[in-house]
Amino acid sequence: MKQRVELNGKTILVTGSPGFIGANLVMRLLKELTGGVVISLDNMNDYYDPALKEYRLGLIEEAAKSSAARHVFIRGSIADRALTDQVFDTYQPAVVVNLAAQAGVRYSIDHPDTYIESNLIGFYNILEACRHHPAEHLVYASSSSVYGGNKKVPFSTEDKVDNPVSLYAATKKSNELLAHSYSKLYNIPSTGLRFFTVYGPAGRPDMFYYSATNRLSRGEKIQIFNYGNCKRDFTYIDDIVEGVWRVMQGAPEKATGEDGLPIPPYSIYNIGGGTPENLLDYIRTLQEELVRAGVLSPDYDFEGHRELVAMQPGDVPVTYADSRGLEEDYGFRPSIGIREGLRKFAEWYREYYGGKNG
């Protein structure tokens, strides 16, 4: 059972906004809410072009002008304990959505410190703040990467996930363990969401679909890993936001065990399309949509601009979400296909970059 959480009139903290998922979630909240305060918190780091975060922040501020809810942007890091405590002291958020994290599997191989700081220390600071300023619901981002090289598909939240193949995956699994312990010790209702390969307009430039578009638009070659023998459960941003929006409104119920101690109000869900796409098919669809949108010319030599290469360290050959839990508990299943999603991305890309190459 879920405890109903009313969002209207509440103070909601979204960390990692104006990151990709965070920005889209905040805009959805500003559109839907009939009152309350939405707080965005992000350090606006330069992991990728900060101009993109500034652009998303501009979209948020535009949405706030016609919203019944108030928007507050705070520039800072969740790894800064004093700042995190100050935000909770000042605003007392009723619902916390922690999307702030250092993302990226490959980047974690060369920059481990960043992941420990943001994904472990930062998340610990959020948990401590929720402990001292009890929230009705803590929702946080996990990742499909926790499944590592699991051979069994589709990936279920019932599967054992103790063999991460990257530091990024290990930090996300650690988030789930930390959240469970805090839920048990301090009765904090928490829900972790394992996102599967999120894509869409104004997404992360380090993600394949975006970086490949940048390279192709500059006439450079793209590398296709594992010689194209990869499958990914691509999930369009609107499906992710719809899932988070619904989950925010239903927290795990608090209950007491036979020992008189709290039964952890704790849940984990997959959010994925449930239809893994072969990477080569995905690339072909992307190419067709880039031509359709006018980003690339109809006579573009795709074969001459792609190179099949071996698997990268930390990568896995297949991701495939079993999202039945989300459907059963929240009545939602991602449904936007890659043709529709990549078309929206290609059209946005053309508009954002204009005649400039990415």
- In whole angstroms, give the CA distance from residue 109 to residue 267: 29
Cα angle 201, 57, 80; round to 5 = 115
Query: Which helix (H) or strand (E) covers residue 24, if one does?
Result: helix 20-32
- In whole angstroms, give the CA distance from residue 242 to residue 244: 6
Short-list 42, 45, 33, 27, CA closest to 8: 33
- In whole angstroms, give the CA distance from residue 144 to residue 47: 21
- In whole angstroms, give the CA distance from residue 214 to residue 352: 12
168 classed as catalytic: yes
Phi, psi of 200 (to 5 degrees): 150, 180
Give how far Cα 228 sits from Cα of 219, 244, 256, 296, 317, Å: 20, 31, 50, 22, 9
- In whole angstroms, give the CA distance from residue 11 to residue 135: 10
Written as one string, the DSSP assignment of 267-298 is EEEEE--S--EEHHHHHHHHHHHHHHTTSS-T
* CB-based contacts of 193, cutoff 8 Å, min separation 6: 139, 140, 141, 142, 243, 244, 247, 268, 269, 270, 271
Do 302 and 287 contact (CB within 8 A), yes or no?
Answer: yes
- In whole angstroms, give the CA distance from residue 258 to residue 275: 42
Catalytic residue (choose from 48, 168, 210, 269): 168
Which residues are catalytic, by number? 168
